[in-house]
Copies of this chain bind each other. A is one copy, B any other.
Amino acid sequence: MHARDICGISFKWTVIIERVVAQPTRIVAIGRNFVEHVRELNNTVPKEPFFFLKPTTSYLANGGKIEIPRGTIVHHEVELGVVISRTGRDIPSAQADSYVAGYALAIDMTARNVQDDVKKKGLPWTTAKGFDTFTPIGPFIPKSSIADPHNLNLWLKINGQFKQNGTTAAMIVQIPRLIEHVSSIMTLEEGDLILTGTPSGVGPVNAGDTVTVGLAVAESPDMLSELEFL
């Protein structure tokens, strides 16, 4: 089946990415989970994690073109995605790992000027986060490929220049507690993707830029995922 039938993407998925998005369920995105990123946007560190939903129609597979909607300033936020393996509610953090199928490298694209405006007005973040193509995502990475998801480097370059270069070791709230928190509010389901927050260095993407992102085990020369978007 052609991916266009599923979520509006204009080219075929690889077989491997279909494990993440062929039956898209939800994208649950955590906010403010890296101290340096909280500071760069003059925000405060939240007392407990918070999250928002992104529509699955925002998925964009490797090689795709990120849309810059008219009138928006669009920022990149490179993030580690956690793919959920099975249905769960009120999952204790000690059992959270058994609900993880694997991972994926993703970018939480954000219309920053729209977000700044709705934050001031106390309105939902949905539009700022929800345009088509606003969740570029890489192939599914099985859990067995990553011994410790809190020991990964993730980076983002624009036109070959580093803009973000962080480590998942710096997460304020780690993955098991994120799963506990989200599942205390709503049932998690197979195929759900949890974006775990972005390190510092976010900034604008302009039409014509080439955006590359990478994920690797810390101090390893081998990339777990490397993607390019136009």
Question: Could you list which residues of chain A lie within 8 angstroms of chain B, going by C-beta atoms?
Answer: 7-8, 25-26, 31, 46, 50-58, 69, 87, 89, 118-120, 122-127, 130-132, 185-187, 189
Contact of A126 among B46, B53, B118, B119 (CB under 8 A): B53
Number of identical protomers: 2
Find chain B residues with CB under 8 A from A58 CB.
186
- Structural contact, B87 and A131, CB atoms closer than 8 A: no
From A7, A31, A56, A126, residue with most partner B Cβ within 10 Å:
A126
Contact of A120 among B53, B122, B189 (CB under 8 A): B122
Given A8-B87, A132-B89: A127 and B51 within 8 A (CB)? yes
Closest CB-CB distance, A11 to chain B, in whole Å? 15
Contact of A132 among B26, B57, B119, B187 (CB under 8 A): B187
- Structural contact, B50 and A53, CB atoms closer than 8 A: no
